Amino acid sequence: MFYLLRPLRLLMKSLVTQTTPRQLAAGVAFGVLIGLIPKGNLIAITLGVILAASRSNLAIAAGVIVAVSGLSGFFDPQFHAVGHFLLSLPLLQSAWTWLYNQPLMPWTGFQNTVVLGSLVIGLALVWPTYRGSRPLFEKYGGHVAAWASRFRLVRFLFGAEWADRFTGSPAA
Amino acid sequence: MRWSYVIPRMVIILVVWGFFAFGFDPLLRSSAVSTAQSVTGAKADVAGLTTGFFPPQLEISQVDLASRRHPGTNLVSFERLTLKLGGEALLHRNFVIEEASLTGVRFGTSRADNGQLELVEEEDPGPTIPPWLQDRLRQHGDEWLDDITARTKEKLDPNTLETYRVGNELYTKWDKEFDETNLAIESAKLQYEQIRRNIEAAKDRRPFDQVEIWLQAVRDADSLAKRSQVLLAEFRTRIPKELQSDFGRLNQAQQNDREMIRHSVQLLKPDARRISESLLGDEMYLQLQQLLSWIELARDYQQELKQPESVRHRGIDFEFPLTHPTPRVLCRKMQISGELSQQGGIVPFSAVLTNVTSDPQLLGKPAELHVTTSGKTPVRVVVRHDATEDIPVTRLAFEFTDQSAKTLTAGRPHSHQLTAGLKGMHWSGGLTMTEGQLNGHVQIRSEFQQPQLEIRHRLVAGLGDIVEHSLGEIEQVTARLRIAGKATAPTIDLESDLGDQISDSFSNAYAKFVPVVQEQLATEVNFYVEKQKKKFVDQYGGRFKGLLADQEKLLASINEAKMIAVKLRTGQLDPNRVFRLASDTGVLKGKDQEKAEKYLNQGQRVLDGIRNPQDALMDSLPGLKNKLFRR
């Protein structure tokens, strides 16, 4: 039983616990970036792979992606304006053309105004988001862990002593 | 390395791998089913779908697309579709099918279920034959044979001859003439009888009244006699003259009829075009319809490919120039094989489809479909859709030889009917469609066999054998159907030497038939005219003589009365004559007659005395004489 549950316990640990405020903030930053970009293109997939490869907190990233994706549609006009401006820039035409002729590049969807616009804006938001969310996690990280430990599943997987250690109370 | 890092990433990799290994193909299959169902409007069954990435390929097995219009039947089904995609093009987001294979294609196979997505009321599928073709099929009925027999009958029917018309007219005229004459005689007789009755009635009157009545009677008789004389004179002189004139009219009508018969028969040549349309129209128009449906199918298919891809609502895509431009979708070559229904049987076919693309102008090559069927009647069809220019042009060409025998029929059984057989029909044709404009032709060449013509009408029956013999000399027929104009209402022109040959056969037959018919009709006319004349003489000759005798007798009686009247008017009345007339006419009875004789004798004696008073006195007064002159 122990061996069966161990992988699940480790997965849950990586998702919820044993994360630093930096990893949580990175997760939020990645979540905002991926969430803003329309899905179904190679850019979104690539960013997803990078997110998975990074040591960011995947759980918080997934949550932010879902939340931001729902809101990103409201900002399409702004994304479109930025993307259209960039794709229309004469200075960049040769670069775009060269890029467009490279293998796989058409699959990225960079030639789409909303994709490019949301990518640029998303990239611009990565650092501010990271910097803005990090102090919050540093301040409220403990509360998050305490909140998580209240769930029966978490307590079951991690064991009571793990939960007590995070909450600071001795095991019963 | 910490497990807390590795395990989540491993899980993600496993999930992604698992999706592509086990979820991608079913998802794609489900998507394919949905797409097919939305296109056909009926159930689509896809047994299996397998994708391969290195090299990129797609394989779909056992697909059955149900027919919405025919429940329980598949529109099309195939066993396997293999698509090999070009990797290089795919990297540039272009779907180039380098090679494809579609095997086991069948049309109209039956299904275990009804194949309908939901129970919906069957929509009217609309006419399978376009309205212009239906009109065309209606127009070229086989009434030409009825027409020709009817016209022949009409032209050669003795009842329509002028001779008959004139004869009947004369009968009517002379009936009326004699009736009027008869009426005049009867009227005169009545007047004569009235005069007699007046004389008879006068016997009971006083002598002076009697004389007055008689005077009135003879005045009437005089008037009547004059009118009767005029009538008799007219009857004697006018009638024979007019009768002679009418016989002349009858002879002229006879001559006119002969001339008309000669001309009419020459005008009876049937319309070659109508014959061609009647005999070959159905086959050729339906073949044309088949061609049009193929060409429409090709164009619709191309149109489907040209539909914009799923519209991306978010933003717009910039199209940057490509170093090696390639159409977004392109099928360079697809081998197709299967079975199709042909002439009630199933025959194998193979086809090659090339250069089907979403951007023909970019490709610069037209799409082509070459279809060849095996079996008893091998068919070759080539469809070429050239959309490389702004105005797409679709061309279709086909060729096949139908070895089965066909029977051509015109007319109706048990009436007038022409039947013949066609064997070894070689069909060929070509059709070009440009922006709703059609231009092309369908052509057949065939052997012509066993013509039979059955004509029921008595006068024309002899014509059938002669035409049949003449048709027997036709060995081969060709026909060409030209089509041009708008696809919705094209102009169609059917030309065939069959119509000309049949028309010529009728003409030749007429050339042989006419003298016979002419002779027959001339004899009939002559016979009729003689019969008419004899009947006329028999019928009216007797009446004429009778009427003439009546008139003469009446006139004689009236003249007698007239003579009395003349004498009365001049004072030369001979009483004896009057009494004699009265006696002759039966006016006086026997007793009265005796009295009349007595008074007549006494009167005579008085008159004699007036003429010789001495003798009369002596005779009348013997007693007095003896007394006065005693000797």
* Tens of pLDDT, residues B172-196: 887 788 788 778 878 877 887 787 7
Averaged pLDDT for residues B18-24: 84
Residues of B in CB contact (< 8 Å) with A are: 3-5, 7-9, 11-12, 88, 91-93, 312, 314-323
Rounded CA gap, B319 and B308, in Å?
15
> What's the pLDDT tens digit per position in B370-381?
999 887 788 898
Averaged pLDDT for residues B549-562: 70
Least confident of A81-85, B70-74, B161-165, B523-527: B523-527
Mutation pick from A42, A76, A111 vs chain B, by most beta carbons of B within 10 Å, is: A111
Does ipTM come in above 0.85?
no
> What is the crossing angle of helices A113-149 and A76-88, to 10°?
140
**Contact criterion met (CB < 8 Å) for A112 and B315:** yes
Rounded CA gap, A124 and A122, in Å?
5
Using alpha carbons, select from A137, A36, A157, A97 the residue that is nearest to residue B324.
A97
Domain count for chain B: 3
CA angle A26, A27, A28 (to 5 degrees): 90
Helices (H), B571-631: 575-584, 590-611, 613-620, 622-628
Verify that B182 and B113 share a domain, yes or no.
no
Q: Quick one: pLDDT at residue A144?
A: 66
Q: Quick one: pLDDT at residue B117?
A: 79
A 61-100 near B (Cβ less than 8 A): 73, 76, 79-80, 83-84, 87, 93, 96-97, 100
**Contact criterion met (CB < 8 Å) for A117 and B322:** no
- The shares of helix, strand and coil residues in chain B, as percent rounded to the nearest 5, are 55, 25, 20
Strand bridging mode B329-342 / B345-357:
antiparallel
Verify that B168 and B81 share a domain, yes or no.
no
CA angle B549, B550, B556 (to 5 degrees): 90
Averaged pLDDT for residues A135-161: 68
CA angle B39, B44, B47 (to 5 degrees): 140
Nearest chain B residue to A45 by CA distance is B16
The alpha-carbon gap from B4 to the nearest alpha carbon of chain A, in Å, equals 5
In chain A, residues with a C-beta closer than 8 Å to the C-beta of B93 are: 106-107
Q: Is the pLDDT of residue B157 over 80?
A: no
Cα distance from N-terminal residue to C-terminal residue, chain A: 23
Task: Identify the domain boundary among B312, B334, B357.
Answer: B357
Banded pLDDT at A170 (limits 50, 70, 90): very low
- Say if A137 is an interface residue toward chain B (CB within 8 Å): no
Q: How many CB pairs under 8 A join A and B?
A: 72
Verify that B189 and B219 share a domain, yes or no.
yes
The alpha-carbon gap from B281 to the nearest alpha carbon of chain A, in Å, equals 56
Residue B494 lies inside a defined structural domain of this protein: no
Verify that B193 and B113 share a domain, yes or no.
no
Rounded CA gap, B142 and B413, in Å?
12
Verify that B555 and B615 share a domain, yes or no.
no
CB B66 within 8 A of CB B73: yes
> What's the pLDDT tens digit per position in B570-617?
555 555 555 555 555 444 455 555 655 665 565 555 445 545 555 655
**Contact criterion met (CB < 8 Å) for B3 and A80:** no
Rounded CA gap, A27 and A137, in Å?
11
**How many angstroms separate the Cα of A134 from the Cα of each of A20, A143, A145?**
9, 15, 16
Residue B69 lies inside a defined structural domain of this protein: yes
Q: Quick one: pLDDT at residue A79?
A: 94
> What's the pLDDT tens digit per position in B493-521?
888 888 777 777 777 777 676 667 667 76
**Does the bond joining B55 to the residue before it have cis omega, within 30 degrees of 0?**
yes
Rounded CA gap, B250 and B244, in Å?
10
Question: B78's torsion region: left (phi>0), alpha (psi -120 to 50) or beta?
Answer: beta
Q: Is the pLDDT of residue A143 over 50?
A: yes
Q: Quick one: pLDDT at residue A128?
A: 95
Rounded CA gap, A89 and A92, in Å?
5
In which element (H, E) is residue A27 found? helix A21-36
Q: Is the pLDDT of residue B458 over 70?
A: no
Using alpha carbons, select from B20, B12, B1 the residue that is nearest to residue A52.
B12
Give the three-class secondary structure for A150: coil
Q: Quote the domain boundaries for residue B81.
A: 7-117+324-357
Residue B435 lies inside a defined structural domain of this protein: no
CB A107 within 8 A of CB B89: no
Give me the amino acid identity at B516. V
Q: Quick one: pLDDT at residue A96?
A: 94
Residue B376 lies inside a defined structural domain of this protein: no
Per this entry, what is the length of chain B? 631
In which element (H, E) is residue B146 found? helix B143-156
**Contact criterion met (CB < 8 Å) for A112 and B12:** no
> What's the pLDDT tens digit per position in B342-361?
767 788 999 999 998 888 88
Q: Is the pLDDT of residue A158 over 80?
A: no
Rounded CA gap, B316 and A84, in Å?
8
Residue B25 lies inside a defined structural domain of this protein: yes
Helices (H), B202-324: 207-266, 272-306
Verify that B550 and B622 share a domain, yes or no.
no
From the CA atom positions of chain A, what is the Rg in Å? 20
Verify that B182 and B227 share a domain, yes or no.
yes
Q: Quick one: pLDDT at residue B205?
A: 72
> What's the pLDDT tens digit per position in B211-258?
677 677 777 777 877 777 787 787 778 877 887 888 888 788 878 877
- Say if A172 is an interface residue toward chain B (CB within 8 Å): no
Q: Quick one: pLDDT at residue B36?
A: 83
Least confident of A43-52, B186-195, B203-212, B378-387: B203-212
**What is the dihedral angle through the alpha carbons of B69, B74, B76, B82, rounded to the nearest 10 degrees?**
140
Rounded CA gap, A80 and A111, in Å?
11
Using alpha carbons, select from B288, B270, B277 the residue that is nearest to residue B495.
B277
Greater pLDDT, A35 or B10: A35
> What is the crossing angle of helices A2-16 and B3-18, to 10°?
100
Verify that B62 and B164 share a domain, yes or no.
no
Rounded CA gap, A58 and B9, in Å?
10
Task: Identify the domain boundary among B339, B357, B375.
Answer: B357
**Contact criterion met (CB < 8 Å) for A38 and B314:** yes
**What is the dihedral angle through the alpha carbons of B210, B214, B215, B220, rounded to the nearest 10 degrees?**
140
Q: Quick one: pLDDT at residue A163?
A: 46
Residue B37 lies inside a defined structural domain of this protein: yes
Banded pLDDT at B267 (limits 50, 70, 90): low
Q: Quick one: pLDDT at residue B509?
A: 74
Using alpha carbons, select from B298, B292, B279, B296 the residue that is nearest to residue B483.
B292
CB B79 within 8 A of CB B101: no
> Running DSSP on this structure, what letter comes out for residue B415?
S
Strand bridging mode B74-85 / B437-454:
unpaired
Averaged pLDDT for residues B317-339: 89
* Burial class of B479 by CB neighbour count within 10 A (0 to 12, 13 to 18, 19+): buried
Q: Is the pLDDT of residue B388 over 80?
A: yes
Q: Quick one: pLDDT at residue A110?
A: 93
Q: Quick one: pLDDT at residue B203?
A: 66
> What's the pLDDT tens digit per position in A64-121?
999 999 999 899 999 999 999 999 999 999 999 999 999 999 999 999 999 999 999 9
Contacts 24+ apart (CB under 8 A), B87-90: B87/B55, B87/B56, B88/A103, B89/B326, B89/B330, B90/B56
Largest CA distance in chain B: 222
**Contact criterion met (CB < 8 Å) for B318 and A87:** yes
Least confident of A48-52, A84-88, B550-554: B550-554
Using alpha carbons, select from B296, B295, B304 the residue that is nearest to residue B331.
B304
The alpha-carbon gap from A109 to the nearest alpha carbon of chain B, in Å, equals 8
Task: Identify the domain boundary among B357, B382, B417.
Answer: B357
Q: Is the pLDDT of residue B566 over 60?
A: no
Banded pLDDT at A172 (limits 50, 70, 90): very low
Say how many C-beta atoms besides its own lie within 10 A of residue A68's C-beta. Answer: 20
Rounded CA gap, A143 and A171, in Å?
19
Banded pLDDT at A130 (limits 50, 70, 90): very high
CA angle B618, B622, B626 (to 5 degrees): 105
CB A72 within 8 A of CB A78: no
Percent residues over pLDDT 90 in chain B = 7
CB A26 within 8 A of CB A127: no
Verify that B595 and B561 share a domain, yes or no.
no
Banded pLDDT at A29 (limits 50, 70, 90): very high
Rounded CA gap, A78 and A109, in Å?
17
* Burial class of B215 by CB neighbour count within 10 A (0 to 12, 13 to 18, 19+): middle
Using alpha carbons, select from A126, A127, A96 the residue that is nearest to residue A113.
A96
Mutation pick from B1, B93, B312 vs chain A, by most beta carbons of A within 10 Å, is: B93
> What's the pLDDT tens digit per position in B297-320?
666 655 555 554 554 467 888 888
Averaged pLDDT for residues B465-478: 80
The alpha-carbon gap from A45 to the nearest alpha carbon of chain B, in Å, equals 11
Mutation pick from B19, B92, B96, B318 vs chain A, by most beta carbons of A within 10 Å, is: B318
Nearest CB to B315 within list A10, A53, A115: A115
* Burial class of B11 by CB neighbour count within 10 A (0 to 12, 13 to 18, 19+): middle
- Say if A34 is an interface residue toward chain B (CB within 8 Å): no
**Contact criterion met (CB < 8 Å) for A15 and B320:** no
Banded pLDDT at B631 (limits 50, 70, 90): very low
Residue B521 lies inside a defined structural domain of this protein: no
* Residue B205, CB-side half-sphere exposure with 13 Å CA sphere: 14
Rounded CA gap, B16 and B45, in Å?
27
Residue B204 lies inside a defined structural domain of this protein: yes
Verify that B51 and B87 share a domain, yes or no.
yes
* Burial class of B315 by CB neighbour count within 10 A (0 to 12, 13 to 18, 19+): buried
Q: What is the average pLDDT score of chain B?
A: 75
